[in-house]
Amino acid sequence: MKTFQTLLLREWLQHGRRWWLIALVPLAFGLLGLSLGHVQVGGDASPVATLLITATVYTALLSGVGWLVAYIQSGGLARRDWQDRSIEFWRSLPVSDTAAVGATVLMNLVLLPLLLMVLAIPSGLLAAAVLVGRGLGWSVLAGLPWTDAVGPLLAGALRMVLGSLLASFWIAPVALLSMAAAAWLKRWGVPMLWVVWGVGGTILAKGYGLPQLLQTAQTFGLRLGSALLPLRDQPAALAAALDGPQPDVTSLPGLLAQDALLRLQELASGWALLALALSVLGFALLVWRRQRG
């Protein structure tokens, strides 16, 4: 266990600062822009709804940026020990190849995106509060019915954290296969994977009536989006809770709980089994490549 923790620490020391910058730099620029720029919010807008919507959108956007960064750097992570010629050193240590690959995957595809989500939630709330104060007046912000907002804020935070973990599951097959392709085929691995997936999927779909390959990527993408965007599939319910000068935000915790349950139920599906199988395949290919030195 201590060895695995040390491997996780290695990943943190190499990449942790980058994720702190991803979390804090947009917040700094956003607060600076809100403080110095002209902020205009519709006069009939509900302060509570504006606060909740802004905080959610900020958190989702920042998390989306984080996942984009995580996927882009995944190919480089697969080749890292070969590029700096440290593979012989790491393989000479009493560390299994499975643990070495597992620590890289766990830190960069689960823990660091989760850290970004945890940091994005209060950052989004802070940015939303400044937006409301600058757009509608600081007196309006001070007079907000915070007792009504606490429940939706807590429920939204829990739903976003769960969404980050679910996003890790749905992006894992694509990310791990990309890492495996990069490990085996170097810089051409990821482009070749997507060419084969895209062109091959199109040929199978249009030429042979077999759209499953394209549907796989599309479904994983949709599940990833639904995980990161609460109530994405229930726009009518969301509009009813937030629209109008006096929205009923007290219904949001129940809606978010139902949405979380739906997202969890998606794990008991054939698509989830396929995602798990592809993730295991990508992980096994990474370990095998590392064992070959």
Joined tokens for residue 242: 């937030």
- Looking at mean pLDDT, say which of 58-67, 226-235, 274-283 comes out highest: 274-283
Cα(4)–Cα(93) distance, integer angstroms: 12
pLDDT at position 292: 80
pTM of the model: 0.89
| Across 166-175, 188-197, 265-274, least confident range | 188-197
Alpha helix segments (H runs only) across 186-269 = 189-208, 212-228, 235-242, 252-265
pLDDT at position 235 over 80: no
Answer yes or no: is pLDDT of 169 > 90: yes
Structure tokens given for 61: 């956007």
Q: What is the pLDDT of residue 195?
A: 86
pLDDT of res. 206: 83
The average pLDDT across 137-141 equals: 79
Q: What percent of the chain has pLDDT over 70?
A: 95
What mean pLDDT value characterizes the chain? 86
* 253 touches 155 (CB < 8 A): yes
Residue 123 has pLDDT above 90, yes or no: yes
Between CA 215 and CA 269 the distance in angstroms is: 15
Q: Show the tokens assigned to 248.
A: 């009923």
Return the minimum-mean-pLDDT range out of 17-21, 115-119, 138-142, 252-256: 138-142
What phi, psi does 255 have (nearest 5°)? -65, -40
Q: Which of 47-51, 217-221, 268-272, 288-292 has the lowest mean pLDDT?
A: 47-51
Mean pLDDT of 210-225: 89
Please indicate whether residue 120 or residue 77 has the higher confidence score (pLDDT).
Answer: 120
pLDDT in tens, 5-47: 888 888 898 888 889 999 999 999 988 888 877 777 765 667 8
Confidence of residue 245 (pLDDT cuts 50, 70, 90): low
* Residue (of 104, 134, 113, 127) closest to 40 by Cα position: 134
CB atoms within 10 A of CB 277: 11
> What is the distance between the alpha carbons of residues 117 and 119, in angstroms, rounded to a whole number?
5
- The per-residue pLDDT for 173 is 94
